[in-house]
Amino acid sequence: MPLLVLLVGICALAMLVPAAVAMIEEDFRTGRSFFYSALLFFILTVVLGFATQGLKPVTTARSHLAGLALAYLFLPAILAVPLADAIGNTRYFNAYFEMLSCLTTTGATLFDPARLGDGEHLWRALVGWLGGLLVWVTAMAVMAPLNLGGFEVSSESQGRQVVSSGAQMQAAAPAVRLRRAVLFLAPTYAGLTSLLWLLQVLAGESDLTALAHAMAVMSTSGISPEGSLNAQPGGFLSELVIFFFFLFALTRHSFADRVTPETPRMLFHDRELRLAAYVVIALTGLFFLRHWIGALEIEAGVEGRSALTALWGSLFTITSFVTTTGFVSDYWAEARGWSGLPTPGLLLVGLALMGGGAATTAGGIKLIRVYALYKHGARELGKLTHPHSVAAGGRMGRRIRREGAYIAWVFFMLFILSTAAIMLALSMTGLDFEDSFVLAAAALSTTGPLAAFGGEQPIIYAALSDPAKMVLMGAMILGRLETLALIALFNPGFWRI
């Protein structure tokens, strides 16, 4: 069956989960909404399956990319049906926005947490989790063969020849690659989520909140039934567990490769992970020093507990926004109270725009592209001092500094132009410059919680006009698929290859 039909069937089966939870909690209205919707769309999947049996399937990586773009456009329309019916006093348009935000792992929400029941909260988290799994699978089975999504920068050595990572995957048929990716990644994704859920429960979280947070961390959606991590029962121990699971959004080698004795060494030398570690450590140190100086200026004293609280709050929050999850530590506000200094929201915007690892659920520009631009810049500065020097790094290093940096710069410029276009469109809906910039960054980097912390004042998504919401919906799809992929879809030469 076509990819879109299969995804509709998966969505129909997923609706049974919140239906069962709502029935157990005797929320019969919500349970009926999800159960009837699941039945309706499952029958639709069966009918479409029979109707497409006589068609010759087009199973190429390019057709799968087109199907993925259509999925982000049409699947939220299906996912929004039970949500709009269960809530009752909301428009279908708002439910569509909510589901598109969850499916693209953006996590921007229009609804107050107290307005939704456990079934609706679980549905939002589950859609975000399935969206993260979709990103994992399509990154390996669709983006890698087409050299998109960050794979165009990296390369692998094969004998004496350097070939792109996508070229090594052309031997298998696209449908076979997609099936293998599902069979390999889905159990890993579900197992890691279950482990994080268990650890969260042991830390003191309630079952639903722990499950939603586990799904939000693995999918980097930042969806929480409480609205955020603030005032959570698990406290520091729960945040510590979440912090270690941020690793899976920083490098694909943490989950895409089988665990071997060489895994620790490979992770230590991973370019994306090392760059993320440098950024997190440097900015955490600067944040801590900033709060320390602020505390001394107001003569608050350097209390040991307050200092450690500020250090942990900065470390957790910075790492969270690098992964584009958007969770803010419960101790972030305490650090501000200790020093009396405001939160530097613009720095959080920059971290979200930089993004996490390629072929992960994180959004943004991606660490591998930032690394390529950094290495190229460092090499050019070195040539100013030593024009005849030969740089180290081998074939792969030279390719990243040359071709990789060139492609990364093209993507960076497209990303900036996309941000400017979205800001212009948002400003035409009545928003000022700062709000337009923060919302554009939040949508393109798929970091919905950034709206609450990126500006001087929190931005409420529910207060936006319908035209502004439509602009953000297009920006969320663009941020999830990336500009290069959409340009490739509309390029006739891309389909003739």
pLDDT tens-digit profile of 385-442? Answer: 888 877 776 667 777 877 888 888 989 999 999 999 999 999 999 999 999 999 999 9
Looking at residue 339, what is its pLDDT? 64
The predicted model scores a pTM of 0.91
- pLDDT at residue 364, as a whole number: 92
Q: What is the arithmetic mean of pLDDT over 144-156?
A: 74
pLDDT at 178 over 90: no
Among 182, 184, 321, residue whose Cα is nearest residue 243: 321
SS3 315: helix
| Cβ pair 96, 76 in contact under 8 A | yes
Min mean pLDDT across 168-172, 399-403, 447-451 is at 168-172
Strands 155-158 and 161-164: antiparallel
In the structure, what pLDDT confidence band is assigned to residue 456 with cuts at 50, 70 and 90? confident
Whether the per-residue pLDDT at 302 is higher than 80: the answer is no
Q: What is the mean pLDDT of the chain?
A: 86
pLDDT at residue 157 greater than cutoff 60: no
Asked if residues 325 and 217 have their Cβ atoms less than 8 Å apart, the reply is yes
For residue 168, is pLDDT > 50? Answer: no
340-397 confidence digits (pLDDT tens): 667 678 889 999 999 999 889 999 999 999 999 998 888 888 888 888 877 776 667 7
Please give the pLDDT value at position 158: 36
pLDDT for residue 222 is more than 80? yes
Number of neighbours of residue 60 by Cβ within 10 angstroms: 16
Q: Tokens standing for 279?
A: 């950024």
pLDDT at 154 over 90: no
Which residue in 169, 187, 182, 248 sits closest to 7, CA to CA?
Answer: 182
Phi, psi values for residue 164, rounded to 5°: -70, 155
Residue-level pLDDT at 446:
94
pLDDT classification of 494: cutoffs 50, 70, 90 = low
What is the pLDDT, as a whole number, of residue 436? 95
pLDDT at res. 233 = 66
Question: Which residues pair with residue 163 across a beta bridge?
Answer: 156
Q: Which two tokens stand for residue 365?
A: 């520009």
When mean pLDDT is compared across 36-45, 130-139, 279-288, 300-309, the lowest value belongs to 300-309
pLDDT at 159 over 60: no
Dist. CA 446–CA 23, nearest whole Å:
32
| Sign of the dihedral defined by the CA atoms of residues 107, 112, 115, 117, in that order | positive
Instruction: Evaluate whether 306 touches 297 at the Cβ level (below 8 Å).
Output: no
Question: For 1-25, what is each residue's pLDDT tens digit?
Answer: 788 889 999 999 999 999 999 999 9
Using alpha carbons only, what angle is made at residue 484 by residues 480 and 488, rounded to the nearest 5 degrees? Answer: 115
Q: Look at residue 273 and tell me whether its pLDDT is greater than 90.
A: yes
The helix/strand count (H/E) of the chain reads as 22, 2
Phi, psi of 40 (to 5 degrees): -60, -50
245: exposed, middle or buried (Cβ count in 10 Å: 0-12, 13-18, 19+): buried
Average pLDDT of the residues in 444-453:
92
Q: What is the pLDDT of residue 169?
A: 44
